[in-house]
Amino acid sequence: MSDYDQQVRDYLAYCRQAWKELRGNLDPRYHPTADGAVKLIAHNGVAAEAKRIREAFRELAGVTPLKTTETEENDR
């Protein structure tokens, strides 16, 4: 269990609610995504923390990464 699990759960709930309220106008390229979670969850720009947020997102959202995202490359 990650320190970020609850924050990622809150992010996913926010995205579900926003999707309903915005009638599908939430841009799926950004939300909900691992990168979107990193943008909205405070981590002080620490790459290791951003990685932990992405891992928590993937675990909780049931996402299997197919490739490293450009943002993840920039975190290294």
User: Into how many domains does the chain fold?
Assistant: 1
Q: What is the pLDDT along the chain (76 residues), one digit of tens a residue?
A: 678 999 999 999 999 888 888 876 778 788 899 999 999 999 999 999 999 999 999 999 987 655 445 555 555 4
Domain with 63 in it: 5-75
pLDDT at 47: 97
pLDDT at 2: 74
Q: Which helix (H) or strand (E) holds 75?
A: helix 70-75
| C-alpha count within 13 angstroms, C-beta hemisphere, residue 9 | 6
pTM above 0.85, yes or no: no
